Structure 1
Amino acid sequence: MDSLTQIVLGAAVGEAVLGKKVGNKAMVFGAIAGTIPDLDIIARYFTDTVTAIEVHRGFSHSIFFAIFFAPVFGWLVYTLLPKKEATWREWSWLFFWGLFTHPILDAFTTWGTQLFWPFDTRLAFQNIFVIDPLYTFPFLVFLVLTLFQKRTSEKRRKFNRLGLIVSSCYLGITLILKGISYKKFTEALDKEQIKYSKIDTRPAPFNSILWQANIVTEDAYLMANYSFFDSKPISFESYPKNHELLGSLKNNDKVQRLIKIAEGWYVISKQNNQLYFNDLRFGLMSLDPKEKDFAFKYQLTNAQGDLEILETPRSVADAKNLLSALWSRIWGN
């Protein structure tokens, strides 16, 4: 999830663990704990693109990381704070839950997380987008209400519990919505007698009303949108796989790793004699049926046998156009 959401979750968890004993400091250090796992993004400044992608949501998002580093961070806080309001064990417990709930929440997103690192398993339930105001905003409101209550107040604990309960219930609702949308997509495929081997569904950006599907057929991928306000049948757009365009590059180690990261959901495109690897899991840059650019697109440059992979930057204008189109599409086709 986005940084703000993880800060809110960490602060709420910190309050639940130690708020009654140390007051607002529990929120502060809970928020810090909720932020720490995402510091793995600094890898992009020291490694190549593929390695940086592999590192993100890896070791720092694992149970192992939470268990090992919680006592370390707990000891640091206990040692540095002059007023010993809580024990080292209590501060360690706060950091454990702050570090552990971060990847748990990330596991519900499209990108997922390697919760069981070093085992090579990425959990991705894909029922919530990485930024979802319906999850974050109510949670934030309850946290602010909690912040202005006295540490011994029953209202303080009540508001914090409500924030945790409401946000968790919303996660549960999105799982139900995912199941319903999955049924709608498969029914539409059966109705059109489309043969497919795999289907993958996820919410569109910033909401849980509009859902998107990727479908594997023999020669192409199909993509479709479904809103709970739709009144017309679901339509499918076809995108050729073009995997053959990779040629000998398909056996390249970096390309193989990128294919693994994309979990096999990729198409290859060629523009101006330049090859691009497109990750289908995060959708297109717009909702235009003729759109060919994907949100996550990587340029493959093979210079003198040394393959360089660079992520194609996304513009602010593209984001604004997508937001406008999403708002319109959410309300039905």
Structure 2
Amino acid sequence: MDSITQAVLGATIQGALLGRWQGRKALVYGAALATLPDLDVVIDYGDAVAQMTYHRGFSHSLFVLSALALALTGLLRLRPNPGYSAGRLFITLWLVLITHPLLDTFTSYGTQLLWPLTTPPIAWSTLFIIDPLYTVPLILAVVVGLISGLKDKTPRGPIAALTISSLYIAFSVSGKWMAEHRVEQQLSAQGIQVEAVFSAPTPLNTLLWRVTVMAGDQYYESMVSWFDTQPPALQAMPSGKQLSHVLQDSPQWHRLAWFTSNILRYDEVNGRLLVTDLRLGMTGFHPFRFPMAQRDENGEWTLIGYVEREPTYRGGAEQLRMIWNRIWAQSPELPLRSWAAPMGPNATAHREG
């Protein structure tokens, strides 16, 4: 999730557990500690694929953060506060730290909770990376706490905010199940052989869902809203999977395929092989796209040693307006094929907004 959400979540947790003793400082301490795992963004891991796939790694590990919480507890207890025990302090610091990667797992990016184990990143993908309905209750609790103070008070505000935000996550989980269930019914009815299904909420809401279905040399995109009354439409698009053989000797490709669970699209554009992570963003407006091979003067493919991230257009106000309208009305359907078309062979390096 975005840094503001992570900060106010940490502040609310520490305010709920230690606010009556630490007062307003609990909110400040919690906010600072909760943003600590994202400091790995300052590390240079190498090329663009490494920067993407090593982020949310060791700094988001439940093992590492649990050890850090224990170390911080020992350090802070050198000058103990008589109001609360070491156990309460440890639980507070531990929750502030581990809720950061746990919340990240509800987004589509992928979080390596069990690092250093090499299990695939976890992406439950029930929340968009920015979701005001999740964040606003936490912000209100922090603002009220800063204004009115928390010392010697029952932390009703922080507890209420955490309850509301947790119930919202539960609602997002039910939305994901709803969307996948409706699409899987259509897949079964049409006899489509499925390799993988990935679903995620559309920007800034959990009412409209995008479901991506990988099926060999093509993939299907479908939009599903809580308010739909008709079966979802499946829009087929080329996956370019047959081009993946070019990348069998590319360590970056293997790393990316592992990180994304192979939810990838391949396009040959202007003599370069572009690989797109289909999980993130919106159909046709995906933020992570990498040129990984190029044709030489003889027309043969050669791997690109240092992979850079391709500039992409992430959509604008017009696309957001259309997505908003699609939440409430199933017709007209979003022009997903049209949005995705510039990713293919006729694409240019930059798409105009």
> Out of 159, 163, 166, which is 1:165 matched to?
163
Kept in 2: contact 1:22–1:86 (CA 8 A): no
Which residue does the alignment assign to 2:291?
299
Query: Which protein, 1 or 2, shows the higher relative CO under an 8 Å CA cutoff with sep ≥ 6?
Result: 2
2-structure distance, mates of 1:196, 1:82:
58
Q: Which moved more, 1:113-122 or 1:306-315?
A: 306-315
User: How much does 1:315 deviate?
Assistant: 4.3
1:245 to partner: Cα distance? 2.4
Residues 321 and 10 of structure 1: is their aligned pair in 2 closer, same or farther, counting only changes over 3 Å?
A: same
Aligned pair count reads 323
What residue ranges of structure 1 are gaps of 5+ in the alignment? 286-290
Question: Counterpart of 1:177?
Answer: 175
Q: Give the TM-score normalised by structure 2.
A: 0.82
**What are the within-5 Å matches in structure 2 for residues 7-86 of structure 1?**
7-43=7-43, 45=44, 47-74=46-73
Amino acid in structure 1 at the alignment position of 2:264: Y
Residues 8 and 138 of structure 2 are in contact (CA less than 8 Å); yes or no, is this contact kept in structure 1? Answer: yes
Larger helix fraction of residues: 1
Identify the residue that residue 254 of structure 2 maps to in structure 1.
256
**Percent identity for Structure 1 against Structure 2:** 30
Q: Distance in 2 between matches of 1:39 and 1:319?
A: 29
- Give the deviation of 1:263 after TM superposition: 0.8
Q: In angstroms, what is the RMSD of aligned CA positions? A: 2.7
Residue 269 of structure 1, CA deviation: 0.6
CA distance in 2, matches of 1:248, 1:40: 32
Greater Cα shift, 83-92 or 164-173: 83-92
Offset of residue 186 of structure 1: 1.4
SS of the equivalent of 2:25 reads helix
What are structure 2's unaligned runs of at least 5 residues?
297-301, 331-353
SS of match in other structure, 1:294: coil
For residue 144 of structure 1, report the CA deviation from its aligned partner. 1.8
Q: What CA distance in whole angstroms lies between the structure 1 residues aligned with 2:307 and 2:175?
A: 36
1:323 aligns with 2:311: no
Query: Match for 1:211 among 206, 209, 212?
Result: 209
In structure 2, relative to structure 1, the CA distance for the partners of 1:59 and 1:136 (3 Å cut) is same
- The structural deviation recorded for 1:305 is 5.6
- 1:16 positional shift: 2.0
- Is 1:282 aligned to residue 280 of structure 2? yes
Aligned to 1:143: 142
State the alpha-carbon separation in 1 of the partners of residues 57 and 169 from structure 2: 22
Distance 1:305 1:272, change over 3 A: closer
Structure 1, 127-136 or 236-245: larger mean CA deviation: 236-245
Task: Return the alpha-carbon distance in structure 2 between the equivalents of residues 229 and 125 of structure 1.
Answer: 23
Partners of 2:292 and 2:195 in 1: CA distance: 28
